[in-house]
Structure 1
Amino acid sequence: MKNWKTIMVPTDRGVFEVFTKGKGAPLCVSHLYSEFNETGDHFADMFTESHQVFLINLREAGRSEKAHEPHQLSMIETVLDLEAVRDELGYPTWHFAGHSTGGMLGLVYGIRHSKSLETLIITSAAAREYASSSPFCIYHPDHPKFENMQSLIEQLKTNLSAEERNDISRERAKLSLREPGRHDEYFAGDVHKSMAARRMEFFSREILLFDVTRQLHKISTRTLVACGQHDVQCPIGFSEEMAELIPDVQLAAFDNSNHYPFLEEKKAFQKVINKFYQQMTVGQDR
């Protein structure tokens, strides 16, 4: 698998590290606290056959601009950063796809700047704080694997060797798979990313007050909400809630998936996405 091309994008809000791959219409992928590199991202790879994907390191991730004030790590400020990157790249509009907290960021993007987005794909996410309201969530204290997950997250915030970090990340990911024993099969390939600790710490506070459910009606972008039936991070009820409140939306639930349907049911996920984009093309031709 070829590595992603690295470009540094100067904007009036700072310089951002961007990785690009694929051909076609421009599509943005990001995540609130992942730190990407030239090896790319499993979720972003799902779109490189049909789009030119721009995988963006946000503030405090990789070689992107630092946060000079804490509020610059917020979702709203992050959307403004993405808008600055889009504008500098010369695209009047682009597509956006986000997984997990990347999907939460996508919701805020759609609420604030739907006119900049051709489509939204929100995968394994939620429109509001999920941990305290659902015991089915692994971040809820009543979940049987809560302590295990918290321990792994705290370890990832510390200084670790590359091998130690990979081992802990592997165990963390296995907690969110329907079939943990297939982890190495799902995450095969030379993709290595890390966590931007400062962004993770800010998110852990911002999520406590996060609730955009009453604003989802403002999303005018055509949207696909995808989720696994057995998701322990963002249980399926949150995806169903989004599908009820976003005006132009489709819901795709994957019966044999947990938090990573694009890996656990890769072919089915790709088929749903291809159909979603094909329907868009048919709609434009009419």
Structure 2
Amino acid sequence: MNDQALIKYLREMDTWANHIAKADASRKIYEDPSFQEEINELLSNIKEWNRDASSFNLDNAHELNELAEKIQKRLGSHERQGNAVPIGGHQLPPLPYGYAALEPYIDRRMMQLHHDKHHKSYVDGLNKAEIEMQKARKNNNYDLIKHWEREAAFNGAGHYLHTIFWEIMSPEGGGKAGGDLLKEIESSFGSFQKFKEHFSAAAKKVEGSGWTILVWAPRSHRLEILQAEKHQNLSQWDVIPLLPLDVWEHAYYLQYENDRGEIRGQLVERSELGGCSGSL
């Protein structure tokens, strides 16, 4: 990483840290003094290096990244433990890295547009649908219930899949899976290479806009690869999504134009699947 790239990384980390600090402070985790200390430490370190950006080096970048990952993991753990989201209260989750963190695979402009515009539109659409259905219950008027149920399905699936999508990619991603996950992949698909071939082929063949998703099927007790048209159509229930790949045009067209195969391969390589060795 050259000096210019390091300074760019520092600026991106500054933007991300301030976004986290100003995010939904009503969540209980923001009341935890140790969590506030971690955020303040990150902001303080960034501020210090911004004063003398020319001396910012790769070791300093790794230190900032370790602290940022610690904060992001605590946020993710809090979300999974979960307080109930109020009706119409869904919020756009912050990216777990800077807009330019996945370059050259996903450039800054496309990442910012994808997250800040497209993902946010699904959050807004889900909130709108939930509020309208709440009004329908209150007024005992279900004339438009079919429309709002469809809106909730489309936007809700879009919001949830994108939330996982951001989390499974990492600047440090790539490589081959290990541990229990690799064993399950080999058991379900024959080999890691066969999994990648199947996953890539499924992504290439998604009809129109949609997703290819590696899922865990609790009843079958094995991994499967599914397609979803749009966000919610032609897939299965009762599965747990692990690795969703967005093949809507907004996820790749600005940078890769109509080469869906190129972005498919790049994002599989940059996912955290290769660094995962957890149990299923």
Give TM class, smaller chain: under 0.3
More strand by share: 1
**TM-score, with length taken from structure 1:** 0.25
More helix by share: 2
Report the structure number with the largest CA radius of gyration. Answer: 2
**TM-score, with length taken from structure 2:** 0.25
